[in-house]
Amino acid sequence: MINRSQSKARAIARSEVPLWKLFSVLFLATALSLMAGLTRAEDTTISHGLSHFGELKYPADYKHFDYVNPDAPRGGEFSTWAFGTFDSMNPYITKGNAAGSSDVFVETLMAGNADEPDSVYGLLAETVEYPADRSWAIFTLRPEAHFSDGTPVKASDVVFTHYVFLEKGIPSYRAIVEAQIAKVEAIGDYQVKFTFTAPSDDNTNLLLAAGTPVLSEKQFETRDFAESTLEPLLGTGPYVLESMDVGKQLVYVYDENYWGADLPINIGNNNFERIRFEYYADPTAAFEGFKAGEYLFRTENSSQAWAQNYTFPAVENGWVVKEELPNGNIGSAQGFFFNLHRDKFSDPRVREAIGMAFNFEWSNKTLFFGLYSRVDSFFKNSDLEAKGMIPDDERAILEPYAEYLPESVFTEPAYSPPVSSENQLDRSVIRKAGKLLDEAGWTIQDGVRKNAAGEQLTVEFLNYSPLFDRIINPYIENLQRLGIEATNNRVDSAQYTERARNREFDVMISTYGNSITPGLGLRQTYGSENADVPSRNRAGLANPAIDALVERVIASKTREELNLNTRALDRALRALHIWVPQWFKDVHTVAYWDVFDYPDPELSPFALGASSFWWWDEEKAAKLRAEGAL
């Protein structure tokens, strides 16, 4: 990073030219700056990247990231599968069911990497400039950057994208951005200025602005951004659409005219000539497709399949590799999430009791072959996870919000689900759950759970995958033993998306994708402002204590402060029982036809990078072809 006033002072101190010449040069430079509209009334920092805490790992003259192979060949095809179908190629709006890969065309001003948890480096923007109070930021675009149709990326495209997202984009995005960014304006063809709603002494707002995707204003002169369409977004990224078979296949091809191929941030990345997604309506059919070589890479999420199904001939003769690779990310917050808009789930004791009926220990032994650990924290496997009885530093944070939190936050250890026996029905746990329901006013009447108004307690699980049937159905049996009428409603992926978006469910399966450096995204996942709109706040949580804790995390000034504040948030969230936590594993379980190679996975702890910094090994592919495998 460069402090503008310091660097100027050093330059003057070193100068040996006559003062009159120096003053003439400075006068001319000042005049030119004034004409260009680029003078600042304050000292500023100019940087090639941003870090939330500490220093950037890579200097301004870095050649490539440490974890990539800078000599990786470009070629071949990365192919994998996707579930369900799609009817849109715009992932930034609420209409339609967008293809999961439809953001492949779009780049941001700056982008992160796989070995730093909280840093970004210039991509579309070469540098960012900001004052000490961080009240604004100016991003200088790379003049060579252009969209795939050859038109240059201008500051006006950034401005357009910002405001069209606010007007017509996903509501949860708008809620975050409006609260932090007051204005975005072009101050030249290649400079765009973000003015924030308030000064700050950390980089939170700068990072928010740096993550702005950039779309082409020209593309939407005759197209409504809010309308779902299969026309792909015109982007600046390394891939363009080659072919589409709606609901069946998407193929992206490397753009030979990609403007950013030689940038240090891209060296060793984007190594495949093509990226192909095969769509399947059924996970079983998808696995059969992998066995047949219809696609060549698979992340295996089914423990049953991982333990039992990889015995087909291609594995046994070495054509297919089955591997566990290290995963340094936090454990994903995967679980059954309650719809808190339903009155029957308003009492946390009801939610806790329902959660107790899920026997993870039996499921792990019987269904998962012991491959998983129970996830009980929203930030599992990290220093952000609350543990044990509340320490004094967390108590000091949480006590001001005690009226909005269960008393158990202060009197009991951070909540973890009870450990059940390895019998499907653990009677002692079910008895404790029944007692909680009794206390909450849901008592046994005529053999079923009813409240004082005579309404029966029912729970419908919204499910889109037949693989979850074997997990949900035993859970339902345990709930029925509690007197709860529970059902498993499996719908297709389009219905699932629509019902989840409209909160038409009792309980749904979801994953809250938290970060090892949580920030503004917490508002999307847990903030009250997103409780009633389509958002990542799947449960519809609206709690003043959680809102305040989220803001405290966002305002953290050091990594130590962030960890402490997040542990307090985690403790509070767990006490509210908005979910029934499921499971996680600290490795990537992947299987692939032996045509790929990759760098040392220990060097990229925060991303697997299979479709980006892995590469096609033509020698391996030729061997499989010679053996009749491909």
The count of domains in the chain is 4
pTM: 0.78
Q: Tell me the DSSP string of 481-512.
A: HTT-EEEEEE--HHHHHHHHHTT--SEEEEEE
Domain co-membership, 398 together with 305? no
Share the mean pLDDT of the chain.
Answer: 90
Domain co-membership, 463 together with 554? yes
* 130, part of any domain: yes
Q: Coil, strand, or helix at residue 288?
A: helix
Whether the Cβ atoms of residue 274 and residue 251 lie closer than 8 Å to each other = yes
Q: Is the pLDDT of residue 367 over 70?
A: yes
Q: Is the pLDDT of residue 571 over 70?
A: yes
pLDDT, position 421: 87
pLDDT, position 1: 52
d(CA 15, CA 211): 40
Which percentage of the chain shows pLDDT scores above 70?
A: 93
d(CA 144, CA 190): 10
pLDDT tens-digit map of 135-167: 999 999 999 999 999 999 999 999 999 999 999
| Strand ranges across the sheet with 77-83 | 77-83, 274-280, 249-254, 239-245
Whether the Cβ atoms of residue 293 and residue 629 lie closer than 8 Å to each other = yes
pLDDT tens-digit map of 324-349: 999 888 888 899 999 999 999 999 99
Q: Tell me the DSSP string of 30-94.
A: HHHHHHHT---SS-EEEESEEESSS--SS-TT--S-TTS-TTPPP-SEEEEEEES--SBS-TTSS
In whole angstroms, how far apart are CA 344 and each of 84, 349, 462, 538, 540? 31, 11, 17, 17, 14
If phi > 0 it is left, if psi is from -120 to 50 it is alpha, else beta; for residue 381 that is left
Domain co-membership, 341 together with 486? yes
Domain co-membership, 108 together with 203? yes
Tell me the CA end-to-end span of the chain in Å, nearest whole number: 50
Q: What is the CATH number of the domain that holds 488?
A: 3.10.105.10
Domain co-membership, 497 together with 356? yes
In whole angstroms, how far apart are CA 219 and each of 88, 149, 215, 233? 16, 10, 8, 8
Domain co-membership, 453 together with 475? yes
Whether the Cβ atoms of residue 496 and residue 462 lie closer than 8 Å to each other = yes
Domain co-membership, 566 together with 601? no
In whole angstroms, how far apart are CA 574 and each of 93, 351, 406, 577? 31, 11, 10, 6
> For residue 626, which phi and psi values (nearest 5 degrees)?
-65, -30
* 227, part of any domain: no
**Token output for 292:** 């047949």
Q: What is the CATH number of the domain that holds 610?
A: 3.40.190.10
pLDDT, position 336: 97
Domain co-membership, 157 together with 203? yes
Cite the DSSP H helix spans in 252-359. 283-291, 303-308, 313-316, 348-356
Domain that holds residue 121: 46-220
